[in-house]
Amino acid sequence: MIQVVEDPIQPAAIYELLAKNGAGSVLLHYAVVKETPHNQAATTGVNYQRKGDMEAEMQTIAEHLQEKWEFEDVLLIRRLGCLKTGEIISLIAAASPNSADVFAACQHGISHLKKIATFCKTEIGVP
């Protein structure tokens, strides 16, 4: 399942969406807006905007994950809009009979979500 949302991502609610009856391992990995390193201009947030068919690109990622690893369920979520530092940008949730597949797939999935071409990112600095 994939979702593109504008409201804050709620990890506890995402956990409830996952099919996990046969899963021995469930993992939720979320990426957050980070503060800028001290030697760079201060960032207070990031504005993420759609610039194409995000759902199709995310569906391709989800299908690749399901082909490569064994899952009971996998969920990819990407948030749009103005996000402050510390807010969740994206989330990958996976449920599998074994932990190795869950960890590998979440790592692979989050790295691909960060590189999708169908969104643009604009950092928001301190005025």
Q: pLDDT by residue (tens digit) across 25-64?
A: 999 999 999 877 666 667 788 899 999 899 999 999 999 9
Domain ranges in the chain are: 2-8+42-125
pLDDT at 77 over 90: yes
pLDDT at 35: 79
Q: Read out DSSP for 70-94?
A: --SEEEEEEE-EEEETTSEEEEEEE
Provide the pLDDT for residue 37: 63
Mean per-residue pLDDT, 70-77: 91
User: What whole-number percentage of the chain has pLDDT above 70?
Assistant: 94
Instruction: Work out the angle at residue 88's Cα, subtended by the Cα atoms of residues 7 and 105, and round it to the nearest 5 degrees.
Output: 115
Fold adopted by 2-8+42-125? Aldehyde Oxidoreductase; domain 3 (3.90.1170)
Average pLDDT over residues 16-27: 89
